Amino acid sequence: MNWKLWYRKVRLVAWLSLLIMLLSVGWLVWPSNQPTPSSIVNHIRVLTNPIVHTMEKEHTELLLSDAPLRQKLNDWSKETTISLKVVLPDGTMVYDSDHSSLPSLQHIYPRFELDYTLRISDSEPPDYHLAFPLLDAESSALIGYAQFTVPAHVMAAALPASSPVILVPWTLLTLAFLTLLYLFFSIGRRVQRDLVQPIAELKPYAEAILKGDYEQRAEWTSDNEVGELYAVFDLMREEIRNLHMLQAAHNQSHKELISNLSHDLKTPLTTIKAYVDAIREGICPDLPSVMAYLEVVHANTSKMAVLVDDLLLHALRDLEQIAVHPLEQYSSSALEPIFRTMAHYIRTMGVNCEEPSTIPNVLVFIDAVRIEQVIANLVTNALKHTEPGDTITLAVEEQTEWSCLRIIVSDTGSGISPQDMPFIFERYYQGSVPDRTKLAQRHGVGLGLSICKYIMEAHGGTIEFHSKQQQGTTFYLTLPLS
């Protein structure tokens, strides 16, 4: 389960449980849940009303010790277990159910000793004491007072039975309390099972990464935040592993590049030294021989300059310091000198060249120096894969639907081998060349295709190619229109 959703639900249930507990407690302690004094007085009046009416009708018999009224009062008191005292207005007590046969009439002070308002005794269970006036049934004149003492069990039986509704707050209170207890233990169990334990199990994987072991995969099957954490952690491990492998490959490529350049520099240096030593020792008999030797020295020096320039450009590419400053200018004036120079160079190498008949004159953002380096590198690579008599075509076309200018460099040479195609834009990658002896006779700027891609991307453009073996290769450069 999603932790955020689960926590939201738990919090909602906890707040509802607390609210129910507060409402239940309020319901239980609210005064309306207990009988009020007025309701108790009314119930006592109902209980005693029959005997009061009887005494008001037959009150003249109260003074007679053997009157039938006294027997009625005794029977009623025994039946109801309610104590009764009858007092005349002057304070003379003429009847007491606790002493049904009074040896002599007692006198009390009705004003102080009678309970005209409800009085509840301190005994447990309590008794209820209340006095009612007695009025003559015919004249309604005050004839005395009746003091009643109602036991608690009689009062409880007289009061309405407790409503079943009173069980509701107790039930709700109990359920809310049990719910809170369940939430308390379930939260602890879930935190231990779904948070503490997974995080503890993640520690060995992190330690393995610190030790350089990137092969241990961290897996967690739960579809929640912890599962997402494990997935992201494993993606991080995979990314660190790839970066480590890329760094190792990069370092290896650097070593191979330095080794290859060292080997390639050693040969022309050895040749230059040999020819210079021959000139110094006077082996050349005349000036034409010296000039021929110097021509060889010059050619090897040019090769070394190309190799050093290639090394410098690769170093600048690593440091991302190859400056590319595109300026808004017309394509015709920017590209025409480049194509004219490239066409002349191609023809001097014994290869046919087809120049663009027209160059679309549109506004583009272009760094002419860097674009010339890219085209020169593509031409140099094309010369490596062509023979005298082959054709290299230079073309430019405007693609209005894509709002870009496309430069095309194609040849009819041997093409790029399928095994080289996925890697030609990678740094330090050197594809197979059919004729290495011919390559040694050709000069170029030595700019790798990875640098070409970097320069085109800096212009906001792209570089793509299409090639078939023994049918040639075509490179497409796109520059967005201004």
Task: List pLDDT tens digits, range 43-82.
Answer: 888 889 999 998 888 888 877 767 788 888 888 989 989 9
CATH pick for 327-480 out of 3.30.1330.10, 3.30.565.10, 3.30.70.920, 3.10.105.10: 3.30.565.10
| pLDDT number for residue 123 | 84
161 C-beta neighbours (distance < 10 Å), count: 7
Residue ranges per domain, the chain?
36-158, 214-321, 327-480
User: Which of 85, 160, 81 lies closest to 127 in space, CA to CA?
Assistant: 81
* CATH number belonging to domain 214-321: 1.10.287.130
Task: List pLDDT tens digits, range 443-482.
Answer: 433 457 888 898 899 999 999 999 998 889 999 999 999 8
Taking residues 107-111, report their average pLDDT: 86
Considering the entire predicted model, what is its pTM? 0.43
User: Which of 470, 468, 443 lies closest to 387 in space, CA to CA?
Assistant: 470
| Rg, Å, the chain Cα set | 57
pLDDT over 90 for what percent of the chain? 21
Length of the chain in residues, anyone?
482
The answer to whether residues 325 and 459 touch, using CB atoms and an 8 Å cutoff, is: no
Task: List pLDDT tens digits, range 393-421.
Answer: 999 999 988 899 999 999 999 888 888 88
CA pair distance 18, 29, nearest whole angstrom: 17
The answer to whether residues 405 and 479 touch, using CB atoms and an 8 Å cutoff, is: yes
E strands along 97-177, which residues?
106-107, 119-120, 128-135, 142-150
Q: What are the CA-CA distances from residue 184 to residues 16, 141, 187 (Å)?
A: 14, 71, 5
* CATH number belonging to domain 36-158: 3.30.450.20
CA pair distance 204, 219, nearest whole angstrom: 12
